[in-house]
Structure 1
Amino acid sequence: MPVSTQIPPPGYRPSWYASSIAPPSPRPSLKHNHRADVVILGGGFTGLGAAISLAQQGLQVVVLEAQRVGWGASGRNGGQALVGFGCDQQVLERLAGQEQARLLFDYSRQGLALLKSRIAAFNIDCQWHDGAADVAISARQASGLAQQAERMARLYDYPLQLWDRQRTAAEVDSPRFVAGLFDPNAGHLHPLRYALGLARVAQQLGVQIYEHSAVRRIQHGAKVSLYTDQAHITADFALIAGNALLEGLAPQLENRIIPVGTYVGATPPLGRERARGLIANDIAVADVNWALDYFRLSADHRLLFGGMASYSALPPPGLQAAMTRRMHAVFPQLRDVGLEKVWGGMIDITRNRAPHFGRIAPNVYFAQGFCGHGVAATGMAGDLIARAIAGQAGGLDAFAAIAHQPFPGGRWLRRPLLVAAMSWYKLRDRLG
């Protein structure tokens, strides 16, 4: 059972995740110049996963985190660990062709397997549970799930369970859903516990992690240096894993993504019987609307309910009340229950919703564009980059071949244009 501290540990934003853990010991900030084989910007899933893979190769690795380990999306997300990416496989087929789309999907399967193997091998207590389902609200969406099940089995050798209305209702007690598509290989976890577990493993392998050490400047060259306010790290290679929080450090990356707010709420503990009455087998669930709702149970029998993406960089007005209404629309039997905590954070979205991995210099790598689908894909990205640094770049090059265009409108107009586009997709969801 989680440890309830009621208030978040020092340095963490308020969330149920942060208040449910024992306060982790703070790590030092960078105060002296160092030399390393690899320096990593970002102490989230991508950076920590890459650090583990690199340290297992015998390399000397330093991680620089601006806040605390898992402070960003890695410690505040919905906790759903899925195969695939933020875009549908058909998008990857159009971008890269069927053969490459299959290769990329297989890498995503490896990413989920890597996550599970690390949890088991390193005894990471992150409250893992098997199973995740996409659920349909309309007949059109149900037909889409049936087509998806057929294509995934035929083209990707990845069978999924198609549920009719009766089976869906038996698993998720909501009048809203008419069909489901279940993946027994996927699952969900406590993301902040997982991030802290990765950090523990990395340090045991010799990785140096510095918190409250924001990178202010990157100096490129035969060696690359990352500068904080007080010192710098010089290394043979660097990995930029700041995702939505780069804040001007790499404009050539930032114009390919846009930070989008997404939000999660937690009910008070419902008790095991009432909680399992909502989601019978403790799986993760998400609808297939463009502006989707997603939800799962916590280890202490709360409902964790997410959604309400904001493309304006500001939290939606009346956020807690609006999220509570959405939760009640899914589970009307919870009308006597509100959301005890609501929190959010920024994820990084690409124009095509495909992942964006590659290099901005021969010795400077990056991974971004997880588009809210990064719990498993981040570890895979970090591992591919570690392999590329070791001279095995085939996997990374497969992702780097995906074309990514900057958002239109430049720095000032790209967000208003995106808000207008998302309004159309939300209208489409309402019209069914």
Structure 2
Amino acid sequence: MTATTGAAHPYAGTGAYPGSYYAASANPAPERPAVAGRVDADICVVGAGYSGLSTALHLAEKGHKVTVIEGARVGWGASGRNGGQVVNGLNASLQKIETTYGPDLAAKVGRMVQEGAGIIRGFVDRHAIACDLKPGNLFTAYTGKQMKELEAKQALWRRHGMDDHEMLDAAAVRGHVASDVYAGGMIDRSGGHMHPLNLALGEAAAIEKLGGTIHEMSPVTYIEHGPTPVLSTPGGTVHCKVLILCGNAYLGQVEPRLAARVMPVSTQVMATEPLGAARADALLPTDLCVEDLRYILDYYRLSADKRLLFGGGTVYGGADPRDIEAKLRPAMEHVFPQMKGARVDYAWSGNFALSFTRIPQMGRLGDNIYFAHGYSGHGVTGSHLFGRILSEAVHGDLTRFDVFASLPWYPFPGGRSFRVPYSVAGSWWYGLRDRLGI
């Protein structure tokens, strides 16, 4: 038997949700009990974010008895703080995957990565999840070069069986976004946006209705490997036959073999005051969510109560900026000068896990411990897809699991000590290219 040790997670503090718009507008949800004493489980999932919830819900729908262990509250991490955009694909483009790993693998991945949005819609429909789910997202281009990238993306996705994209010139974009900064764009009709924390809370409730159990405020401090993995928490232990690690950017050092594979990166979002229907609809007349094509991009959309939710920026290493509003407001007012002086009611930050290749990772540690992480900022759909694939593997079908588990992973150059400065340097370089339009 081998053992893995890790310090108790200090990341969650009291475990209360951060002061986000999503937390302030969340649907009512119970506080689930922490692990107390010994808990025996057939399948234990660590992490009640989208990866863990999707895995657990898919398994519960297949009839498995699942126990979910969460260090804070359901959806406390990136799953309850993100921009709420349902965007198809991975951070790494299918073109990069094809160039790096060949057309056969790209074809397999291309067939899979379109599923995430459909999984979300299926959960929402089957389990009556109230999360303000709306259709459509818009990619915007600042330059002619970026428009060519969109045209190539449309052609590539068509090769993989997806034809929900519509190219727009600058005038057509203005019909969707009241801004003059864009050279054009592309709509993905199969994308969309929603209230991310309410989606997580609804998935958790669905797991429980199907007989699953969720323990909150139970950070894993120690994993004992073996035929029956044992997880230690401050209040007790969990003994399971199969363990699935879905902590992503918040797993910490509990499993060092995974910690070295990814780097936490924070991104920021703010929510304005309610704008009223007339003012909000003038900004985004068709109520699409929007993201641009720059390396460090802006993303924004309207909330159900007609606030502008505007996000962007990155901090490598996962630290929170000193003043989130000061960081994001210039970008918002660049896109929408008419928003100058608008009050900001909420501003928050959250971490995602960045992999060096920007391709999410999935695999096993031994025969009975599975993991998935590293969505690199495209986790809303990717995590739901990986949850389905993990459930298939545990249920006995490794076909799709093996596609991703076989992909090599690469460490950040310079190891853990230099991954932040390395990534900052790369970010500066690509940001300069964006500013120069090259």
TM-score, normalization: structure 2?
0.94
Q: Matched residues in 1 for 2:382 and 2:279: separation?
A: 33
1:358 aligns with 2:351: no
Note the C-alpha offset of 1:96. Answer: 2.6
- 1:144 is matched with 149
- 2:40 is matched with 35
Q: Which among 396, 414, 417 is matched to residue 412 of structure 1?
A: 417
Give secondary structure in 2 for the equivalent of 1:33. strand
Report 1:82-121 matches (<5 A).
82-121=87-126
Counterpart code for 2:294 = N
Q: Matched residues in 1 for 2:135 and 2:127: separation?
A: 18
1:66 aligns with 2:59: no
Q: Matched residues in 2 for 1:384 and 1:228: separation?
A: 27
- 1:311 is matched with 316
- 1:127 is matched with 132
CA contact (8 A) 2:164 2:189 kept: no
- More off after superposition, 142-151 vs 295-304: 142-151
- 1:268 is matched with 273
- 1:181 is matched with 186
Report 1:25-424 matches (<5 A).
25-424=30-429
1:427 aligns with 2:432: yes
Give secondary structure in 2 for the equivalent of 1:171. coil
Q: Matched residues in 1 for 2:253 and 2:77: separation?
A: 17
CA contact (8 A) 2:89 2:381 kept: no
Which digits, 9 at most, give the CA deviation of each residue in 1:210-268, with x for residues without a partner?
A: 00000011111111111112211111111000000111011221111100000001010
Note the C-alpha offset of 1:55. Answer: 1.6
Q: Matched residues in 2 for 1:101 and 1:56: separation?
A: 29
CA contact (8 A) 1:264 1:304 kept: yes
- 2:3 is matched with none
- More off after superposition, 89-98 vs 65-74: 89-98
| CA separation of 1:343 and 1:34: change in aligned 2, threshold 3 A | same
| CA separation of 1:30 and 1:155: change in aligned 2, threshold 3 A | closer
CA contact (8 A) 2:80 2:200 kept: yes
Structure 1: runs of 5 or more not aligned: 1-8
Note the C-alpha offset of 1:155. Answer: 4.4
Counterpart code for 1:400 = A
User: Which segments of structure 1 move beyond 4 Å, counting only runs of 4 or more?
Assistant: none
| CA separation of 1:102 and 1:327: change in aligned 2, threshold 3 A | same
CA contact (8 A) 2:224 2:231 kept: yes
Counterpart code for 1:107 = M
Counterpart code for 2:107 = R
Counterpart code for 1:408 = P
Structure 2: runs of 5 or more not aligned: 1-13
Which digits, 9 at most, give the CA deviation of each residue in 1:136-157, with x for residues without a partner?
A: 0111111221222222223444
Give secondary structure in 2 for the equivalent of 1:262. strand
CA contact (8 A) 1:95 1:402 kept: no
Note the C-alpha offset of 1:124. Answer: 0.2
CA contact (8 A) 2:26 2:198 kept: yes
Note the C-alpha offset of 1:167. Answer: 0.5
Q: Matched residues in 2 for 1:201 and 1:254: separation?
A: 30
Note the C-alpha offset of 1:23. Answer: 4.5
Counterpart code for 1:122 = H
Q: Matched residues in 1 for 2:78 and 2:202: separation?
A: 16
- More off after superposition, 325-334 vs 244-253: 244-253
Give secondary structure in 2 for the equivalent of 1:340. strand
Which digits, 9 at most, give the CA deviation of each residue in 1:317-371, with x for residues without a partner?
A: 4431221111000001111314221101100011111111111221100110111
CA-atom RMSD in angstroms: 1.5
Q: Matched residues in 1 for 2:235 and 2:321: separation?
A: 37
Note the C-alpha offset of 1:95. Answer: 3.1
Counterpart code for 1:102 = A
The alignment-based identity, stated in percent, is 37
CA contact (8 A) 2:136 2:188 kept: yes
Note the C-alpha offset of 1:168. Answer: 0.6
TM-score, normalization: structure 1?
0.95
- More off after superposition, 372-381 vs 302-311: 372-381
Q: Matched residues in 2 for 1:328 and 1:136: separation?
A: 17
CA contact (8 A) 1:163 1:180 kept: yes
Counterpart code for 1:390 = H
Q: Matched residues in 1 for 2:316 and 2:41: separation?
A: 38
